[in-house]
Amino acid sequence: MIYIGIDIAKRSHVACAMREDNSLAIHPFEFSETSAGYEKLRSRLQSLECDPGEILIGMEATGMLPTSPTNQEITSIKWESLF
């Protein structure tokens, strides 16, 4: 299992990925609240080369997330097509 954490902010976000043994699969990196930023996230996730069923993504619960561009970008990603 690979665990991905995303820290959501207004203009940019930080993500990283860890394996079950607590080693980093992807070192923390920043991506912007833009289409290019989400493409960066998508590219990093594709680099994991694993089954999407073995990935768990966690994000903080922010009050403005349901109506933010962040939520729209994240929900529009075809996660199963990343791999």
Of 1.20.144, 1.20.1630, 3.30.70, 3.30.420, the CATH number of 2-82 is 3.30.420
pLDDT at 79: 52
| CA nearest neighbour of 60 among 49, 74, 50 | 74
> Rounded to an integer, what distance in angstroms lies between the CA atom of residue 40 and that of residue 60?
20
Model's pTM, two decimal places?
0.72
Helix (H) or strand (E) holding 35: helix 35-46
Please write the tens of the pLDDT for every residue from 8-56. Answer: 887 889 999 999 999 999 999 999 988 899 889 989 988 998 888 888 8
